[in-house]
Amino acid sequence: MAFRVQIRRDTSLNWNTNDPILLDGEFAYETDTGRYKIGNGVDVWSDLIYSLVGITGPTGSVGPTGTTGATGSQGIQGPTGSTGSQGSTGSQGIQGPTGETGPTGSQGSTGSQGIQGPTGETGSQGIQGPTGETGPTGSQGSTGSQGIQGPTGETGPTGSQGSTGSQGIQGPTGENGPTGSQGSTGSQGPTGPTGSTGPTGSQGPTGETGPTGSQGSTGPTGSQGPTGLQGIQGPTGETGPTGSQGPTGNTGQNGITGPSGIDTSILSINSYSVAYTLQIGDKGNLVEISSSSNLNITVPTESSVPFLNGTQILLVRGGTGSLGITGATGVTLNSSLGYLNLNNQYSAATLVKKSTDVWYVFGDLKI
């Protein structure tokens, strides 16, 4: 004759209102949520955790997106808030290294040299005395027309430099004479050895400057130095009023609802009357052994039956014969005080897989 097991049941509200203490290993079921708890003989209902939760069904396919509604007209822009005062400038960051100098551009053509006038004789330099006070600068006369520059003679050998004489007293600056036009440059003679520096003659008029050559390409920029400290930010201006909202677009059609998931909160009861080794189909279900003989339920190794970590299996002793829980070679079963035999007929226990070949066992057990 087959045995039928009836589990205690009530609504979630009634369970939490009455808050009873379930017996160790006793099942209790919420009829309105599909969830259940297993007692430990100590904690009240509200302190117990729920056991297995049903597997969520596959998500339905997403429905097509509705057309986007037309954009509402732009609201009137609010007035710009007043500008906050500028924060103080952060300290100057360290200057990065100077980048390499770019190549020099090609030199522009030299302008025509004006005719250089003859060089006047150089007067002998007087002994330089101590520097006197600078006299007042005379008014500048108007610039006269450029004189014709005579041809430059060949450069004679430079003599050895003589010792510098003492500075003479500086007289007042005279008016500038008119600048003559620059003459053409003569060919340069060979440079002789440097001789002593003779007295400096008066400078001839400066010729016109030739056109500037094109600028060479800029060399690469050196790496930037670190940024200075951020200055204090000024207060934010007032926010302008928000423009009116445009009309809402039409709502798209709802997608097709996916199929409902399988409700695994309803246990499958697998009944046997002989010694039994757990199989993959027992996960999340109740295994009942009903016999007058003394039998065992064996927990297999992961290599033979790959239960996932966290798997729960409920066990019930349905017959008068004893029912023990054993592990295959290599399997560890951890229970309070090492008890692994169901206490009496209709006693229950729970197996929970912790890790590879390691299980917890708890319920109405004896040595």
More confident residue, 249 or 28: 28
pLDDT band of 289, cuts 50, 70, 90? very high
pLDDT band of 20, cuts 50, 70, 90? very high
Pick the closest to residue 93 from 228, 195, 243 (CA basis): 228
Q: Check: pTM over 0.75? Answer yes or no.
A: no
pLDDT exceeds 70 at position 239: yes
166 phi/psi in degrees, rounded to 5 = -70, 150
* Res 87: pLDDT: 54
* Res 246: pLDDT: 74
pLDDT exceeds 70 at position 31: yes
pLDDT exceeds 80 at position 173: no
pLDDT band of 55, cuts 50, 70, 90? very low
Torsion of CA 183, 188, 189, 195, to 10 degrees: 90
Kindly report which listed range (48-52, 150-154, 236-240) carries the lowest average pLDDT score: 150-154
What are the tens digits of pLDDT across the range 303-316?
Answer: 999 999 999 999 99
278 phi/psi in degrees, rounded to 5 = -60, 145
More confident residue, 197 or 275: 275
Residues 6+ apart with CB under 8 A from 216: 102, 103, 104, 105, 106
The Cα 155–Cα 242 span in angstroms is 83
Report DSSP letters for 166-200, one per residue. Answer: PBPPP----PPPPPPPPPPPPPPPPP-------PP
Residue 324's beta-bridge partner residues?
296, 341
Kindly report which listed range (247-251, 313-317, 350-354, 355-359) carries the lowest average pLDDT score: 247-251
What mean pLDDT, rounded, does the chain reach? 76
* Cα 182 to chain centroid, rounded: 66
pLDDT band of 13, cuts 50, 70, 90? very high
The Cα 339–Cα 122 span in angstroms is 126
The Cα 22–Cα 30 span in angstroms is 14
- CA-based R_g, the chain, Å: 53
* Res 279: pLDDT: 96
Strands 269-272 and 27-30 come out as: unpaired
